[in-house]
Amino acid sequence: MAKFEGVYVALVTPFTESYEVDYTRLHELCDWMITQGVHGLVPCGSLGEYASLTVEERAKVVETVVAAAKDRVPVVVGSGAPSTQQAVGWVRQAKEAGAAGIMALPPINYRPLENEVVAHYEALASVGLPIIAYNNPHDYKVDLTPDLLAKLSKIDNIVGVKEFSGDVRRVHEILAKTDLEVMIGVDDLAMEGPLFGATGWIAGVPNALPKEGVELFRLSREGKLNEAMELYRRLLPLFHYDASPQLVQSIKYMMELAGFPVGPTRPPRLPLSSEYYAGIKEAYDFAVRG
C-alpha cells in the first residue's frame, strides 16, 4: 500500500482583505477538506503562496494545518526555499510540528548539476521525514527525469514523486525504473494518472470541489472508465486552470464561487481581468451543473 495514497489537496493560504494570513479561515478550510473526504493536506506549496509568506507566517501556517488535521489525515509540507540550508530548516520545522512528510522541490534558483540535485535531496532526507520529490520542469530549471528519479529513489526517505511535467507517459517509465509512488501533480491528468498507475494526486481545483475530486480519483483507480469519463469531462475545463501560471488567483476565485471565499492573493499576484474570471465561471458552472 502506498504511504501517501489518494487525493492530497495543495492548500491555498487564506488572506484577509488587508493581506494578513487568516489562520481561522485556514483551520476552517482544513476541516472542510477532511469532512469532504480528502486523504491528505499539503500546505506551503506554490498554490499556498509560500514565497510571499514571512518566516513567522510560514511556520504558523504549518502548525495551524497540523493542528486542524488532528491526525485525521496526513499533512505533507512544501519545503521550497532559495537554498538547501533554508529548505532543510523548513523540513525540520515540519517534523517538529508533527507533519507526516515533505513535498520537496529540487534547487530552484539556477540550473544545478545532477550531483547538486542529489546532494540537495540527501540533505533534506537526512532530517528523517518521508519525502515526495516535486518535479515541475515548467516553472523551475530542473527536470526530475525517470533516470534521475531512479538515482534519487536510492536515498533513504525518498518515497514518491509529484509528477507535474504534464506527460502521462512519465508515469509508466517512473514505475518501471523506480520503486517510488507516483502522485499526479497537474489536475488535467487526474483521470489518466490513476488509470495508469499513479496512487496519489496532489490536487489544486479540489480546494473548491473536494468531493468531486475524491470521486473522480476513486473511479479512475477502480478502472470505472465510463463513470470517470463522464465526471472528468465536466471538470476538465476547470482543471486546465491549474496548469496556468495564474492558478492561485483562478482557484481562489473558484472557491468564492463554491461559497468558501478565502480572500485575495498577495502581490505580485494581482486580480485577473473580468474576461478571465468570466471564463472560470463558465467552466465552474459547467462542472457543477453539466
- Beta bridge mates, 77: 102
Indicate if the pLDDT at residue 69 is higher than 70: yes
Helix, strand, coil share (%) of the chain residues, nearest 5: 50, 15, 40
Listed residue (82, 103, 84) closest to 94, CA to CA: 103
162 is catalytic: yes
pLDDT at site 96: 98
Q: 141 pLDDT band (50/70/90 cuts)?
A: confident
Q: Of 8, 23, 134, 232, which residue is the catalytic one?
A: 134
Q: Of 23, 50, 140, 162, which residue is the catalytic one?
A: 162
19 is catalytic: no
Range with lowest mean pLDDT among 35-39, 104-108, 137-141, 191-195: 137-141
Q: 1 pLDDT band (50/70/90 cuts)?
A: low
Alpha carbons 216 and 219: distance in angstroms, whole number? 5
Indicate if the pLDDT at residue 109 is higher than 90: no
Within 13 Å, how many C-alpha atoms sit on residue 165's CB side? 18
- pLDDT tens-place string over residues 149-181: 999 999 999 999 999 998 999 999 999 999 999
Within 13 Å, how many C-alpha atoms sit on residue 254's CB side? 30
Indicate if the pLDDT at residue 103 is higher than 70: yes
- pLDDT tens-place string over residues 179-200: 999 999 999 999 999 999 999 9
Indicate if the pLDDT at residue 212 is higher than 80: yes
CB 19 within 8 A of CB 27: no
pLDDT at site 140: 83
Q: Give the largest CA-CA distance in the chain.
A: 50
**What residues contact 147, with CB distance under 8 A and at least 6 apart?**
177
Q: What is the pTM of this model?
A: 0.97
Q: Is the pLDDT higher at 110 or at 129? A: 129
Q: Is the peptide bond before 268 cis (omega within 30 degrees of 0)?
A: yes
Q: What average pLDDT does this structure show over 99-110?
A: 95
Percent of the chain past pLDDT 90, that is, above it, reads 94
